[in-house]
Amino acid sequence: MFHQPRIPPNTGNAIRMVAGTGCELHLVGPLGFDLSEPKLKRAGLDYHDLASVTVHENLEAAWAAVEPARVFAFTAHATVSYADIAYRPGDVLLFGPEPTGLSAEVLADPHVTERLRIPMLPGRRSLNLSNAAALVTYEAWRQHGFSGAAL
C-alpha cells in the first residue's frame, strides 16, 4: 500500500512488481499524479493489465475496503527490521510518500500493527519507494516458498 505517492515512475515500477509477484497494490489518495501519466505507464511497461491495483480516496476508505488484520508501516525511525517479521498472507505493507515518508498521524493510526525499518548505512535517509516495496514484498513471498511462482 502506497500512501499518497508522488513520483509516477515509482508507482509504475511497483505495478510491474505486483504483476510479477501476484500481490495487490493499493494506492491511497490524494495521488501526486494522474494514473494516465506517461512516466507511470512507461515504468509499468505492458504489465498494467496483469497487476491488481486499487485506488482509495483516503486511508479510511482503504481500511474499509481491505479490512487488514496486520499493517506494517515502514519508517526510517523504527527500531525493528523488516527481516525480523514472520509475514502472513493478507499483511499490509504500508509505505509513505516520496520524499517525506509516513506522517506521525499515519504512523499512529490504530490499524498499524508495527513500525518497521529497512537497514541502511548511517546518514542515509531512505531507499527508493519502489525498491523498498520490492525488497519487503520479496522477503514476505520468500517466507512462503514463493508460492505460485515458476522456480
The per-residue pLDDT for range 113-141, each reduced to its tens digit, is 999 999 999 988 889 999 999 999 999 99
Within-domain flag for 150: no
Average pLDDT of the residues in 56-84: 97
Distance, in Å, from the CA atom of 6 to the CA atom of 101, rounded to the nearest integer, reads 11
Residue 36 marked ligand-binding? no
Query: What digits encode the pLDDT tens for the residues 23-53?
Result: 999 999 999 988 876 766 665 556 777 889 9
Task: Give the integer Cα–Cα distance in Å for 75 and 80.
Answer: 10
Evaluate whether residue 40 is within a structural domain.
Answer: yes
Question: Tell me, what CATH number does 116's domain have?
Answer: 3.40.1280.10
Residue 33 lies in a domain: yes
d(CA 31, CA 98): 11
- Residue 149 domain-assigned? no
| 123 within domain boundaries | yes
Q: Please report whether residue 39 resides in a domain.
A: yes
pLDDT for the residue numbered 42: 62
Domain containing residue 103: 2-144
pTM of the model: 0.93
Burial bucket for residue 104 (CB in 10 Å: 0-12, 13-18, 19+): exposed
Q: What confidence score (pLDDT) does residue 41 get? A: 62
Q: What is the pLDDT of residues 74-111, one digit of tens each?
A: 999 999 999 999 999 999 999 999 889 999 999 999 99
Helix (H) or strand (E) holding 138: helix 129-143
Plot region of 9 (φ>0 → left; ψ -120 to 50 → alpha; else → beta): alpha
Task: Provide the domain count of the chain.
Answer: 1
126 is in an annotated binding site: yes
Q: What is the DSSP letter of 31?
A: P
Q: How confident is the model at residue 1 (pLDDT cuts 50, 70, 90)?
A: very high
